[in-house]
Structure 1
Amino acid sequence: MKRIFGNKWMYLGLVFLFLLPVQAFADAQPGDRFITLGEDLTEEQKNMLLSEMGADDHEEIITVSNEEEHKYLGNYISKRLIGTKALSSSSITLGEKASGLKVETKNITWVTKEMYVNALITAGVKDAEIYVTSPIPVSGTAALTGILKAYEVSSDQAIPEDVKQAANEEMVKTAKLGDEIGTEEATALMTKIKQEMVKNPPETEADLRALIESAAKELGITLNEEQIQSLLDLFNKLKELNIDWNQVGEQLNKAKEQLDAFLNSEEGQTFLQKLKEVFASLIDAIAALFKG
């Protein structure tokens, strides 16, 4: 485990909460829900997932094909990992303004909830509750395609192709980096880099490299040159997107307020107490090993 415990919970909490103000849902109303289903699901699997998501006859269902999945993922991961069947499915429920972005998953083995959140942020999705599922364990990389497709339907506006590509690339690169340095560490690093880009927007590639290296150092993460170059390529692309970074900073401050409110609440205090108990048990177990 890398040396990031002191800041880990704050950064992971921010990952769940902070939002990029790119584009709001235009026509749909809070509470409206859209469901995506993989095109290659059997009828039995479709019915099982619809039941799992509590769908009714009035909700709009959007179909996602394996061809669409390969279109947005083919440049970043192997065809084997994408697979030959579209199975990943999801629901997206629109929330009230400034309610935040929340993601839950089931049968997703590689892409974490935090990674979805960061990628969706890049694509401009906000104020929604998202559920990602599959009838069998899958990597989860293909699910983002369906979520973004549902977003386009709900907003009645197309997400630019370069934004979709950037969101998918960010998700995959974060997952790959997580395999190398730790999932929580990779997610925290991506969040930290975005925070620093808000505070001090890099003007040159040298500035961006320094920002990435500084963020990693602050989190106690050691990156090799290949990893740094991968992040440089990604964030250079993000710099070119139409993102109001000043507004991002305001959203980050709001996210911190929400996190502080949670930690000071009864639920948050219970969470912290459970965390203390876990580490106390771990210390006792280690001590018992030495006594033996």
Structure 2
Amino acid sequence: MMKRLLLALIVLMVLLTPIYSASTSGFAITYGETTYNNPSYKSTVLNYFKTQTSKNLDDATSKVITASEVNQISKNITGRTYNSNQIFSCALVDLSYSQGIKIVVDTSKVTTVTSKMYANALKSSGIENGYVVVTSPVTATGESALTGVLKSYEIAVGTSIPEEAKQAATEELYTETKIANQTGQDPDKIANLFDEVKQEVSSQNLQDPAQIKVIVINIANNMNINLSDEQAQQIADALANSQKAQSSLSDFKNQLQIATQQASQSQGILEQIWNYVQSFIDYLSSLAGN
């Protein structure tokens, strides 16, 4: 009788798992095209992802990020263009994480962009929840990885982020890294500066760079960050563009909320199934020991 019950539970688990996994659309991976085309690089990235999630990576929807996609966003911001052999960074996004946003950056490979910087850029794209992992098979600044992170969210949510918002988020990230390099300040301190200014700008619903610049200077002074007039202007311009882009994000935010709820519910159901099966196995083991 016990064997039949155990067999029934195992069959139920096997039948239900793919159903709920398939409905969990909020799980995506993006590969830089250089990494994807190199089996050794791809294996390195996958091995790192495996250490950062308990999920089966085969269940994730994946996409390759090309140099042309990165250039489409970055060329008008930095003037820099990438070749197909320069796109290494990779990203994983899991919407079943229900405690805000958590970003893990492989600091052994990603040398410039910090988790707080990514969080700022994602916030400018209407994203404040999910589990994000960023890595690279070789040393990289991590700036081009933002394209992959945003694409991972688009895949996980099933809705595109408006180009205006992606441009603003990328401009913000590049400005953060540039200011950090120029001032010699800790990158996370610069990220905190951007975050505090952004909160104030949002609360006052400001879009005028001149007004935002005043806030930048005041908060920077309070944080003992010395900025040149040009640097303060660059920050103000980037955050003004970010604020202007917010009105375009209502549809994406709605879809993100729906996808997050679905992913969290599916994950919860799977955990209940596994916990019930484990409890039953433990019960059988206790009977066998008596």
Does TM-score exceed 0.5, indicating one fold?
yes
Q: Structure 1 205/146 Cα, relative in aligned 2: closer, same or farther at 3 Å?
A: closer
Listed as ranges, the gaps of 5+ residues in structure 2 are: 1-21, 51-55, 249-290
Deviation for aligned residue 1:207? 2.4
Structure 1 stretch 126-135 or stretch 234-243: which is displaced more? 234-243
Work out whether 1:102 is the aligned partner of 2:102. Answer: yes
Equivalent residue number for residue 88 of structure 1: 89
TM-score, length of structure 2 as denominator length: 0.68
Structure 1 stretch 52-61 or stretch 226-235: which is displaced more? 52-61
Please say if residues 92 and 130 of structure 1, whose CA atoms lie closer than 8 Å, have aligned partners that are also in contact.
yes
Structure with max Cα Rg: 2
Q: Supply the RMSD in Å over aligned alpha carbons.
A: 2.4
Q: Deviations over 1:143-177 (max 9, x none)?
A: 11111111111211111111100011101100111
Equivalent residue number for residue 190 of structure 1: 194
Equivalent residue number for residue 5 of structure 1: none
Please say if residues 104 and 115 of structure 2, whose CA atoms lie closer than 8 Å, have aligned partners that are also in contact.
yes
Q: Deviations over 1:200-238 (max 9, x none)?
A: 333644422221221112212221111011112112212
- Partner Cα distance (1:216, 1:130) in 2: 29
Equivalent residue number for residue 34 of structure 2: 40
* Identical-residue share of aligned pairs (%): 26
TM-score, length of structure 1 as denominator length: 0.67
2:34 alignment partner, SS class: coil
- Partner Cα distance (2:150, 2:203) in 1: 28
Instruction: List aligned pairs for 1:1-292, cutoff 5 A.
Output: 29=24, 32-41=26-35, 42-54=38-50, 55-77=56-78, 79=80, 84-97=85-98, 99-106=99-106, 107-181=109-183, 182=185, 183-202=187-206, 204-242=208-246
Q: For this pair of structures, how many residues does the alignment match?
A: 216
- Partner Cα distance (1:231, 1:215) in 2: 12
Specify the code of the residue in structure 2 equivalent to 1:38.
Answer: G
Q: Deviations over 1:72-108 (max 9, x none)?
A: 11223353778842211111111354x1111111210
- Partner Cα distance (2:145, 2:81) in 1: 16
Listed as ranges, the gaps of 5+ residues in structure 1 are: 1-26, 245-292
Specify the code of the residue in structure 2 equivalent to 1:211.
Answer: I
- Partner Cα distance (2:235, 2:148) in 1: 25
Q: Structure 1 85/204 Cα, relative in aligned 2: closer, same or farther at 3 Å?
A: closer
